[in-house]
Structure 1
Amino acid sequence: MGEPDRDIETGLAKFAAQLRYDDLPANVVHDAKFRILDWIGCALAGTRTEPVRIAAGIAREMSGAPQATAIRQGEKLPMAQAAWLNGLAGHVVEFDDGHRLAVAHPGAVTVPVALAMGEYLGRSGKEIITAVVVGYEILIRLGIAVSPSHYKYWHTTSTCGAFAAEGVAASLLQLNLPAAQMALGVVGTLASGLQETFGTHAKPLNIGHACQSGIQAALLAKAGFTGPHTIVMGKKGFVAATSTDRELTLLEQINNKEFLSHTAFYKMYSSCGHTHSPLDATFSLLQENEISVPAIRDIRIDTYKTSVDLTGQLKNQTEEEAKFSLPYCIACALLYKSVTLAEFTPARLQDPTLLALARKIHIVEDESATRAFPARHANVRIEFADGRVLEKKVEGANDTPQYASLKNKFVSLAVPAVDAATALRIQEMVLDLEQMDNIASLMQKLA
């Protein structure tokens, strides 16, 4: 920990190899435990979905040594395969945390790796927390470095996330600096994930692949496998190949003990993050006004191009599509006053009242909002049959963490997969994670 690293690859490897629990401020530790809890809730809910059912079947066909728990599958898998399946489960319900400037979901590619490897290696709660923070810092800083141009085609959570997953694995394997450098070089060529997958089962598959790649790279490096020292910044490296942006300051400063992990946002809506600013504006209007849904004539939402491109159409054929449909999500907010898992059931997807309202919603690009991206500006304008107009503008979603609300969110996600007593016990264990000498008992609760 010290001066900024001009050699970015060395700085990243040093951070993964040398960060210790005692380096972490109390607020970072506190937040990291809630990050882990939030991801576990998402994963428990995700285990009940069709994509995870399919993937679990394939994982069983390909299984090997029983090393780490496959959440709610009643069995163990090789740790890289467990992280692959659990990573998919944690992202599939679109309720996991994210980072606005990095345009990525840090928990998705860090916590499943930490739990799978930590269980197999017998690591303590403090070591798990430290490894998770390593992953968050790498993903946030690398994501910011290549944004926004990287996000034009690439799924940042899985591309930059592979580097984060490798950092988690390097930390838990206790790699020395040369080995951590090699692991970084290896994972860079495994990084992948395209936005064409959005709205399909393949989107969370990207996350599972990133988790698996991170573990694979770290294990290869530990065994003596080599990779390039210049995988991030080389002429044909990751940044050059996938981005026209070069905002490197935060990458260079990764070892300066100024942590960013707690700046990620927690999702309170089970939908694509690019729907959240308009949803915040809509809920503000609902709180401030009496809104008669039948009296609505038209709704216009002005927002940034990425949101328009990814979420601007009414889509309701599948749960995955609807979570990437801003008209659908806004209609849910107005009709049901919530956008949670309950709003994406087969019955809701075909609700004629909801769909009629969604067809009144029009999404338009606001060029000033596009210029401000990755800040997430949105304006919601509701016009009523009597000519009355309500309007609300937001310049970024509400990202202030409400830890009490996160406890409630966890239970609401977990209880369909486990009973209430088990959910509360898991919550207690995670929020006291630093007291655990070995996370085996936690993983038994998740089995």
Structure 2
Amino acid sequence: MTGLVQRLADFLVELHYKNIPNKTLDSAKQCILDSTGNMLYGCCTAVGEKAKAHIKAFPGDAKGSLVFVPGGDSFPADDAAFISTLMARSSDLDDGHRVAMGHPSSFLIPAVMTYGQVMNANGKEMLTAVIAGYETYIRIGETINPSSYRERGFESTSVTGSVACTAALGKLYNLDAAQMKDALGLAATFTGELIEYQNDGSMGKVLSGAWAIRNAKMSLQLALSGFTGPEAIFEGKKGFAQAFSNHPKPEKAVAELGSVFKISEIYFKAHACMRGLHCAIDAVLDLRERFHLTPENIDSIIVYTTPFVGRLSKPCPRTEISAQNSLEFTMAVALKNGHIASERVLAAAMKQSDVFATAQKIKLVMDPEVSAFVQAHPSCWGSVRVSVGTKDGQTHETFVSLPRGEAENPFSWEELKQKFCRMTENTPYQPYASELAERLAHFEELSAPGNLYHPWNESRITHNRRSSHKKGR
């Protein structure tokens, strides 16, 4: 009987742009738009600068052609991939999947855009590679989650991401079915990362994607050199699903493979913080708008939830990454500002004593009713009921089970383009954000998508616009 990894490899090798449904292509372009905005934002952040400084201090192999990264600098491909994925992750606004967990765009889009430049891939080829990566990520993630992340403490972005990134790069490098099987098997064999960083706000969070890309590139090269991977890596007694999950479901890797494309289940973020906090933030923003709440007229806030959300109780975060993982602090920031549109909002709030004072008003209660709801609806793991008491004696309450941006409550193309334009503010790309967003929305028409990172100017845009018009005649 053919193993699961070979069945997945066969699907990936036979995946061609012309056979992909339009809805799936549309979802992939939304993922590219959203992640590119995150990368452009990241090129002007402290994390982005730290990534470039690290590479300059410890450069990798300088052989081969240079490729562009967000901001317009050029580096050898492996170094460029490292820099780009840290830029993509720095904003904490990257997409995700609520069953597979983690954030696939933070490494898949940087990897495809980087190595796509190396391979001179066009828009259609890159789109196909992106879809291959997302399909692999979600399917493999569902074999081990939510227990791998929630109960065992494994970081899905890296654990599952290594395998998914291998699938995407395997498409770009045109691996055959045997090579793809071996590359996937090797990537799954050597993957891993822990989420202990959530407890102290250290920087493992922004490095997750870099590990996934590095593992994927090595696995691909080994497979091309004839090294083999396990035949039963996903379902074996000592395999991936058994090792990383308390409740392994290896059959999920190939369920409805080829007939259902799961990339359309991806969510997009409105708030620059951990996804597990978004229901609570949406709840407090809803009450803020409906009842004109301010930090000054609030007496108390009670969040009724589950231990999974409750573990994020950190009313006094000490680092920006810790702030991104703090329930009380992010709710207080949202209540004051009406949004958490970027990590800069959180960074500024770290210096505001009134935000910390509001955070102290927020109390958590582990609620049996909310727990029962989550048990009946496991994918709604961020569910909360929020009750706000005001100083005039009134109480306002709301329940949120799914935040904005989920497939059941999606952002429109226009909303995603608006987010993209916000992400380019204070970057070299701000004057051309709308033009760039439109080009990304028609990604399949681009002959050299990697050149989007090249420093832009008006003459360049005009030339590209004329070229596109000529092509369409």
TM category (shorter chain) comes to: over 0.9
Pick one of 396, 413, 436 that aligns with 1:403.
413
Task: Report the Cα distance in structure 1 between the residues aligned to 2:68 and 2:186, rounded to whole angstroms.
Answer: 26
Report the residue type matching 2:426 in the other structure.
Answer: P
The C-alpha deviation readout for 1:119-176, integer Å capped at 9, x for no partner, is: 1000110111111111111111111221121003101111001111001001111100
Q: How does 1:55-74 map to 2 (within 5 A)?
A: 55-60=51-56, 61-63=58-60, 64-65=62-63, 66-72=65-71, 74=73
User: Which TM-score applies when normalising by structure 2?
Assistant: 0.88
Pick one of 21, 30, 40 that aligns with 1:34.
30
Task: Report the Cα distance in structure 1 between the residues aligned to 2:27 and 2:251, rounded to whole angstroms.
Answer: 24
Q: Give the structure 1 partner of residue 131 of structure 2.
A: 133
The yes-or-no answer on 1:257 pairing with 2:267 is no
Task: Report the Cα distance in structure 2 between the residues aligned to 1:417 and 1:96, rounded to whole angstroms.
Answer: 18
1:195 aligned counterpart, secondary structure: coil
Report the residue type matching 1:22 in the other structure.
Answer: K
Task: Report the Cα distance in structure 2 between the residues aligned to 1:238 and 1:45, rounded to whole angstroms.
Answer: 35
Count of residue correspondences: 441
Q: Give the structure 1 partner of residue 196 of structure 2.
A: 196
- Give unpaired runs (5+ residues) of structure 2: 458-473
The C-alpha deviation readout for 1:270-315, integer Å capped at 9, x for no partner, is: 1100100111112221232222431211101122322211x21113
The yes-or-no answer on 1:187 pairing with 2:197 is no
Q: Give the structure 2 partner of residue 171 of structure 1.
A: 171
1:94 Cα deviation from its structure 2 partner? 0.5
Q: Give the structure 1 partner of residue 355 of structure 2.
A: 354
Report the residue type matching 2:372 in the other structure.
Answer: S
The yes-or-no answer on 1:8 pairing with 2:8 is no
Q: Give the structure 2 partner of residue 374 of structure 1.
A: 379
Report the residue type matching 1:146 in the other structure.
Answer: I
Q: Give the structure 1 partner of residue 48 of structure 2.
A: 52
Q: How does 1:318-357 map to 2 (within 5 A)?
A: 318-341=319-342, 344=345, 346-357=347-358
Which 10-residue stretch deviates more, 416-425 or 194-203? 416-425
Task: Report the Cα distance in structure 1 between the residues aligned to 2:456 and 2:178, rounded to whole angstroms.
Answer: 35
Task: Report the Cα distance in structure 2 between the residues aligned to 1:369 and 1:85, rounded to whole angstroms.
Answer: 41
User: Which TM-score applies when normalising by structure 1?
Assistant: 0.93
Q: Give the structure 1 partner of residue 462 of structure 2.
A: none
The C-alpha deviation readout for 1:95-114, integer Å capped at 9, x for no partner, is: 01111111121211211111
Q: Give the structure 2 partner of residue 297 of structure 1.
A: 299
Q: 1:377 to 1:205 in 2, by over 3 A?
A: same
Q: 1:183 to 1:254 in 2, by over 3 A?
A: farther
RMSD: 2.0
Q: Give the structure 2 partner of residue 111 of structure 1.
A: 109
Cα contact 2:297–2:391 (8 A) shared by 1: yes
1:91 Cα deviation from its structure 2 partner? 1.0
1:402 Cα deviation from its structure 2 partner? 2.1
2:454 aligned counterpart, secondary structure: helix
Cα contact 2:332–2:359 (8 A) shared by 1: yes
The C-alpha deviation readout for 1:201-227, integer Å capped at 9, x for no partner, is: 221112111022112211221222222
Task: Report the Cα distance in structure 1 between the residues aligned to 2:448 and 2:287, rounded to whole angstroms.
Answer: 47
- Give unpaired runs (5+ residues) of structure 1: none
Which 10-residue stretch deviates more, 432-441 or 132-141? 432-441
Which 10-residue stretch deviates more, 5-14 or 106-115? 5-14
Task: Report the Cα distance in structure 1 between the residues aligned to 2:292 and 2:424, rounded to whole angstroms.
Answer: 33
Q: Give the structure 2 partner of residue 142 of structure 1.
A: 140
Cα contact 1:383–1:389 (8 A) shared by 2: yes
Q: 1:369 to 1:103 in 2, by over 3 A?
A: farther
Report the residue type matching 2:154 in the other structure.
Answer: W
Identity over the aligned pairs, expressed in percent?
25
Q: Give the structure 1 partner of residue 444 of structure 2.
A: 434
Cα contact 2:96–2:102 (8 A) shared by 1: yes
Report the residue type matching 1:202 in the other structure.
Answer: G
